[in-house]
Structure 1
Amino acid sequence: MRNLIPSYIRVPIVFFIILGLVEYFVDSGDQPAFIKYPVILLFLLLVLLILVAIEAIIGALENVMFQSLTEEAKERFLASKTKVPQFTWIKNTYKKLAGTKPIETESELILDHNYDGIKELDNSLPPWWIYSFYASIVFAAVYLVNVHILGNNSQFDEYAEEYKQAEISIAEYKKNAKDLVDINTVTQLTDAADLSAGKAIFMQNCVACHMADGGGGIGPNLTDKHWILGGGIKNVFHTITEGGRDGKGMIAWKQNFKPSEIAQVASYVLSLQGTTPANPKEPQGDIIWPDETEETPAVDETKTTEVDSLSTMAATK
């Protein structure tokens, strides 16, 4: 099989198979993995060098075994080799990179001494090894100047950038993960689907105390602007989550519903503001505007003057 497929064809095939596996298993979005992650590019280059080295070592072993044959066996071996159409420039480039010598000429490289019949070739280091060694020296020099002298792309900068990207990713994840909502991040929902889901939960669990229209019964009226434990989405969310006042009967619903469902119920409760229930319960608590950003309505100064005048007259009497 090795005679049918030359090494300069085997190596690229194996390399591209490994490249395809890397691209398949590494999630790099729209970019190739070896471009998005430089460490993968270095890994692939290392793999390519290892493949070339393996082929060179195997070729050297074959040459050693060839030299141990008799002259007659050598001739039979050379005559039996299958000739395969070859791309000359690829073959020549590969041979230059591997630095291998033809079997027929290796007799010129055999040293005079031997060990128990094992002979040694006086080969130089293969060009691929020398080139990679020189490249590592150049890379080390550039890295030293860029990182440790100029202070560019240091590990601290990379850490800060990765940390910043992680915070952005976490914030984006929290936007889409509704069940991570809490009292600090909850916002009033206005989508019809959310309000409908909140109404369904309200009708199933809250009408016994607050009535179906929110007018109040055992519990307070939810349609006016008076709130016992505070209005607005954050206060209502907290009240439903942790329960009402001690001894007043409202339980903590956090054991029954997910945070996203409590946010839906709280938003539905706030949507009842300004509606007219059939039998509204008298106001309880203080007037608190549901929207914390909403400005308090301006006071009519003429009416204030009239009240002050009546108070002064009453005092004189």
Structure 2
Amino acid sequence: MKKIFPIYVRIPVLFALFFLAMEFFIDSGDRPAFIKYPILNVVLLIFLLILVAMELILNATDNILDTLLTEEQRKEKEIEENLPFTESKFYKGLMQKLTRSRKVEEEGELILHHNYDGIQELDNVLPPWWVYLFYITIIFSGIYLVRFHILGHDDQTAEYEKAMAEARIQVEEYKKTAPDLMDKEKVTLLTDASSLEAGKALFQTNCVACHKADGGGSIGPNLTDNHWILGGGIKNVFNTIMEGGRSGKGMVPWKETIKPSDIQKIASYVLSLQGSNPKDGKAPEGDIWVEEGAASPAATATDSTKVAAPAK
């Protein structure tokens, strides 16, 4: 046995079985038990020390017993230890218990006293491994019947459907606040200094070639006045940066290059430039934009206000 299962195999296997049993029986939620309950590390260490101590004691006992063996017994033991696993007493004993097989010489005791055209049958018993497995299936079916058909616990289909429903709810909740899943309908105007500073940095990296660093406009329109080609306000400005300007002559869409949360910062920074009146600003283009619900006497007088168009 020691040759088949040496100490460097026995100790790790026994330790692993104890560890798995501890994890299985102790409810620790979504974290391993030895992390949630640090005291279990002490238990594991004690168990390991016990295993090592038992191995040392067994080895010492074997050594003492070896000294008591006769020369003939010692030779028999050495021969047994050097036998192949399939010829060892352990293997043969195990197979005998599992199969209860009889030797060929004993078949005469098993022959049934009837004859079918010269053919006789042996009255062999069912192998114990098969019988025990059959008993296990009966026990399992009883537990299954009580759990799912009497107590009404969820089967695999119900568990899957519940898990999917919970996952869908979590996804929808995540979408409500996830910045990089933002769209025109969810975007809001950012006014805090850190967001505007980040928007300014992104603007200077991606937008100054067409709109100048001060937003006064070059190839692109002036972003500091209240005239907008495709509509003002955070939703429209955000949408225009995402989807691009007028087909064939407007700004390219940036949604493949800049993530939505950064586009929100750029749009918020652009709107913070309103009324800054930079030097040499480009002449106004488009129509005067008034946010829906806001009063604008000048716009009312000229009747040129446009509401709800898409951004510059």
For normalisation by structure 1, the TM-score amounts to 0.49
For normalisation by structure 2, the TM-score amounts to 0.49
